[in-house]
Structure 1
Amino acid sequence: MLLGYRASEQYNSYYKPVYYRLAESGGQERLRELLSQTPSIQIYDTIESQLSELAKINNPQRQLTPEEYKVEVARYLDGKDPDEYGVWVYYPWSQKLVHLLDEEEFVQVRTSRNLYKIKPEELETLKTKKLGIIGLSVGQSIAMTIATERICGELYLADFDTVELCNMNRLSNCNVYNLGASKAVITAQKIAELDPFLKVTCFTDGITADNIDTFLGTGSSQLNILIEECDSIDVKILSRVKARAKGIPVVMDTNDRGMLDVERFDLEPERPLFHGNLNEEGIDLTKLKDLTSQEKLPMLDAMVNLSALSDRMKYSLSEMGKTINTWPQLASSVVLGGAMVTDTCRRILLSETTSSGRYYIDFKELIK
């Protein structure tokens, strides 16, 4: 084997960046040690440009001249070495070291173009929210859209699976050197490279009966919304049973005909699963993994409404086990799902919507 190891091994371990604040005691020594031990490190330092952006958004009524930008940057630095301003963020998986504004100013600049589509007080509210995503194929697009729009301050990501070549028809944030790596970890790395201050925790064993309560959390650490995007029928049902018991709303995108499911267990604690389409009587959560395909069919129908699927998806399902081994997903549908789920979750978090239901954004019907 080339070089005696698999390159993907490094991706299955690291997804949290390391911070170096040179103005803090020991910060410079720690950074010097990193630099001496990592000769191949790549350094990116645009702190003065970021400070110029900060000056620009803090002076919206002025058209600053180049000289005025220099004055504003100098005011922020206040006589300090530019190296000591902000924070140096190290990404172990790529050996990149990036000089950034520290968290408060970084978030202020990065989300400045959200105003006033999202009001300042709403941004502050969203910073306190925690979302969980089960399933990081469709879920990766959702996670990245959530992180990009920054509608929360913390994300839990769960998936036991690794990236395969056939996944890359829809995983727009994966590269060929990510093959074999954990889907959850890869997603967390991409989020950290976008926003190192967004807290992310990975559950690389996926969701099980043993860890579902930890994933959903309790009290002040509980998820505000569960986003369920996994393929396993047992996890789909188990996660909803647990979410309902804890009063956590569940949102799901099916990436066919733009179908979006919203179950407001936070507002309706007795709400039946899947809008009452699933017969909950007699369901044994411990035996769901052992169901035959025939036994799963009525459950799958309750989850996605098989009769309402697009003609091409219906045909695809008829070919499963014949010419294909799983149902298809298109990148355009997955990206649409990321947008729909993010928009819906933001409005739930800001109490702009209270609705449960099943909704369709079907381009074939809308655009003829």
Structure 2
Amino acid sequence: MSKQDETSGVSNAMHTYRPSFFRTQYTEDRVKLESLRSGGGMVFESDEIKRQLKELVRCRYPSGQLSEVEYDFHIHELLAGRSMTEYGVWVYYPWRKTLVHLLDEAEFIEVRTNRNQYKITQAERDTLATKKLGIVGLSVGQSIALTIAMERICGELRLADFDELDLSNLNRIRSGVFNLSVPKVIIAAREIAEIDPYLEVSIFPSGLNTTNYTSFFTDGGQLDLLIEVCDSFEVKIESRFKARELGIPVVMDTNDRGMLDIERFDLNPDRPILHGLADDLTPEKLRELSEIERLKYLMKIVDADKLSERMKRSIPEIKRTISSWPQLASAVVLGGAITTDVCRRILLNEFTSSGRYYMDMEQYIA
């Protein structure tokens, strides 16, 4: 099954997540754009291309303050005989009914990532642009996906989650009440497109399961890294066996005490999954476990004795006074930052270790 097949169930207009591109130097695109404008499909249009061109010039001449005459001269050179309207690309976001005039891809990326220099060099940026990342779980994963997109540490993101947005999710998922019942993968993919329409995003709105692991991991090229932050115990285990089989590193943020797990199956293909905490668990044995047995495994995997005190007090209340384990926006945002930082260093071969790490704010700021 192709990645496009995976999105077929959410391909209607309400669930679209890919913008459309129009380059008005081409007659066909110009006709389509005029039809869009006249057909009532657009309620807002933003044309700040001159501002972007001016910033492009500033990025290329950073040493001094240019005069307006000098800016106009350099912009005139960039236009190279084209009109301002024909320069760059017009991007249409159908879920917002909004048209935006932007720099085309290479110049857009040059300007958008300019403030990364030299924490991320141009050579590193170009290397990262070749990387493919998969994220399973779009609660904690949404924060990770958006941070990755803003920092632009990859060229492609594959997002998997079967769930839709509920009101209670808004304590930690950056969205709005108008998105209630919208699939979480759609919400994340749209936000990424609004940050960077050139970043390739594929969605798996049925989540991960035994029918689509191969598609998620390998279609369109094998993943360079898997970020697993889902609730499903089965997917946690099965996805690691698949990652280990393919030699793909796995990163997991647990959202309590800033706990981060790193498993370098690319460097150590015989490494036991989850640092050996899953004992002799196999995908076959996994299907035979009772709910109580799964909970016992889960408590061993997260090292229950090292959970925060508030999380320890919360676990006995699950299915009694609360419906699930608690998560806070501050911890989710921290997880997005930590995970993105570690993933960038893994992709650039700057970090080669496996293990469990904690970034516990209550420990460091007390």
Q: Which TM-score bucket, shorter chain as reference?
A: over 0.9
Contact 1:9–1:181 (8 Å) recurs in 2: no
The offset of 1:119, in angstroms, is 1.0
User: Per the alignment, in what secondary structure is the counterpart of residue 227 of structure 2?
Assistant: strand
The offset of 1:62, in angstroms, is 2.7
1:230 aligned partner: 230
- Rounded to whole Å, the distance in 1 between the matches of 2:300 and 2:271 is 15
Relative to the length of structure 2, the TM-score reads 0.94
1:5 aligned partner: none
User: Per the alignment, in what secondary structure is the counterpart of residue 284 of structure 1?
Assistant: helix
Contact 2:15–2:182 (8 Å) recurs in 1: no
Q: Which runs of 5+ in 1 are unaligned?
A: 1-7
2:34 aligned partner: 32
In the alignment, is residue 313 of structure 1 matched against residue 314 of structure 2?
no
Using a 3 Å threshold, how does the CA distance of structure 1 residues 9 and 317 change in structure 2: closer, same or farther?
Answer: farther
In the alignment, is residue 298 of structure 1 matched against residue 320 of structure 2?
no
User: Per the alignment, in what secondary structure is the counterpart of residue 118 of structure 1?
Assistant: coil
The offset of 1:283, in angstroms, is 5.0
2:6 aligned partner: none
2:187 aligned partner: 186
2:59 aligned partner: 57
1:260 aligned partner: 260
Using a 3 Å threshold, how does the CA distance of structure 1 residues 90 and 40 change in structure 2: closer, same or farther?
Answer: closer
User: Per the alignment, in what secondary structure is the counterpart of residue 82 of structure 1?
Assistant: coil
1:3 aligned partner: none
Which stretches of structure 1, 4 residues or longer, exceed 2 Å deviation after superposition?
A: 8-13, 38-41, 280-283
User: Per the alignment, in what secondary structure is the counterpart of residue 64 of structure 2?
Assistant: coil
Query: Which residue of 137, 154, 161 corresponds with 1:159?
Result: 161
1:246 aligned partner: 246
User: Per the alignment, in what secondary structure is the counterpart of residue 85 of structure 2?
Assistant: helix
Contact 1:148–1:194 (8 Å) recurs in 2: yes
Alpha-carbon RMSD across the aligned residues, in angstroms, is 1.6
Aligned residues: 357
Contact 1:11–1:178 (8 Å) recurs in 2: no
The offset of 1:79, in angstroms, is 2.6
- Rounded to whole Å, the distance in 2 between the matches of 1:281 and 1:40 is 54
In the alignment, is residue 325 of structure 1 matched against residue 323 of structure 2?
yes
The offset of 1:335, in angstroms, is 0.2
The offset of 1:307, in angstroms, is 1.1
Using a 3 Å threshold, how does the CA distance of structure 1 residues 285 and 126 change in structure 2: closer, same or farther?
Answer: farther
1:213 aligned partner: 214
The offset of 1:253, in angstroms, is 0.2
In the alignment, is residue 337 of structure 1 matched against residue 335 of structure 2?
yes
Q: Which runs of 5+ in 2 are unaligned?
A: 1-9
* Structure 1 residues 70-98: Cα deviation after superposition (integer angstroms, max 9, x where no partner): 22112211232111000000001110000
Using a 3 Å threshold, how does the CA distance of structure 1 residues 109 and 282 change in structure 2: closer, same or farther?
Answer: closer
- Rounded to whole Å, the distance in 1 between the matches of 2:42 and 2:269 is 55
Matches within 5 A, 1:38-53: 38=40, 40-53=42-55
Relative to the length of structure 1, the TM-score reads 0.94
Using a 3 Å threshold, how does the CA distance of structure 1 residues 129 and 282 change in structure 2: closer, same or farther?
Answer: closer
- Rounded to whole Å, the distance in 2 between the matches of 1:86 and 1:74 is 14
Contact 1:11–1:186 (8 Å) recurs in 2: no
Using a 3 Å threshold, how does the CA distance of structure 1 residues 9 and 151 change in structure 2: closer, same or farther?
Answer: closer
* Structure 1 residues 233-278: Cα deviation after superposition (integer angstroms, max 9, x where no partner): 0000000000000000000001100000000000000000110111
- Rounded to whole Å, the distance in 1 between the matches of 2:359 and 2:169 is 24
Contact 2:89–2:101 (8 Å) recurs in 1: yes
User: Per the alignment, in what secondary structure is the counterpart of residue 74 of structure 2?
Assistant: helix
2:5 aligned partner: none
Using a 3 Å threshold, how does the CA distance of structure 1 residues 109 and 267 change in structure 2: closer, same or farther?
Answer: same
Which amino acid is the alignment partner of residue 136 of structure 2? I
The offset of 1:25, in angstroms, is 4.0
